[in-house]
Amino acid sequence: MNQRNDQRSNRYRRLDDHEVRNKMELLSDQLQIQQLELEESRNRYADLYDHAPVGYLTVDQTGNILSINLTGAALLRKARPFLIGKPFTSCFLDIDHQAFHHYLQEVFNSSGNATIDLKIGDTQDPLSFIRLESTVTHDKNMCRMMMSDISQLRKMINLNRDLLNENRQLMKGLFRVQEKERRILARELHDELGQWLTAIRAESEVIFNYAEQDSAIYTSAQTIKGCTEKMHQVIRTMLHRLRPPLLDTLGLPDALSELKKQWSSRHAQITLELKLEGKLAALDEQYNITIFRLIQEGLNNIYKHSEATWTQISLSRETIENSADDFLLLKIEDNGKGYDTNQQFTGLGLVGMRERVIALDGRMTVRSTPNEGTEINIRLPIKI
């Protein structure tokens, strides 16, 4: 009986050992598969890390390189083993050491990302500017950096800046030529055409005085006299639009007061208010004519497009202590129908105003909402 029980127990033990062995083999196979997958994943990560389109590196608090990918080493133009343990700044002949170490200190003292653009070579070199984007690790012992070559980007930015400056100088020249032509045309209208109209008017007065009142000659003389007076009025208006006389003789405030008077007489349906503050009488000619033309164009836009019943022009001079510049602040506002500033317009009024502002290194903003009027704010720096 006992022998039979022992046999049965041995048979069960052999079955248990067989099951355990099968499970162990299965677990071993699964572990090998996971190890292979882990190795493959690690290799993929290493490939992605080493051959990423940007450089990745880690540095310690003193700026020594602890690790770097192949792309980063290629950017630094050195073999990776040579770079490990070396100061980051030693990789460049032309780099602002103080700016880099100040940036590194900022990175270790903050918990977020920090970015800096560094000049590392002559602008003619293929690699002349790099951008670093860094974040510190949780233990604060090192920081991870992403390094990218922005040399071409900086060259394009500098090129665009140079083109913008050239365009501004060109616009200044164009406006200068335009105002010169207007001044010449105004002088010729006044000196030439004005004299001939004066002569015609004088001759008509002679005929008017000697002709009989009920004669056709008397009637014609009256007609000629009326026509010459109207022509004088038209020429005066043209002269003021071409070159306001008070702008050259008495300065900007009086010229603007005269502009308000003439504009209000032609557009009586729109109430025009003019507010002037600060020292505006001794400005240079370029500021005088620019402000005058901006207000002229602003009023023209209001009459043509706004359907306003009220408008206000505010001009002031702002003085800032310890600054090399004063500022002219111009606001043109109305209570008209307004418009959607995101909508594209084919008119050139605001475009011309903006070009004049940009030519003097100024800033112009437009605020408008349908049915709530329009406000134009202009800020021009004055070199003092």
Residue 275's pLDDT band, with cuts at 50, 70 and 90, is very high
Cα separations in angstroms, 84 against 45, 200, 269, 295: 20, 95, 79, 65
The pLDDT value recorded for residue 315 is 95
Query: Token pair of 362, please?
Result: 């100024």
pLDDT of residue 123: 61
* pLDDT value at residue 140: 82
Tokens of 373: 């009027």
CB atoms closer than 10 angstroms to residue 4: 8
pLDDT in tens, 337-348: 988 877 765 556
CA 208/CA 222 separation, integer angstroms: 7
- pLDDT tens across 214-228, in order? 788 888 888 888 888
pLDDT band at 10; cut points 50, 70, 90: low
Does pLDDT of 15 surpass 70?
no
Q: What is the pLDDT of residue 102?
A: 93
Q: What pLDDT does 20 receive?
A: 65
Specify the range with the lowest mean pLDDT, choosing from 17-31, 144-158, 328-342. 17-31
Q: Is the pTM of this model over 0.75?
A: no
290 vs 352: CA distance, rounded Å: 11
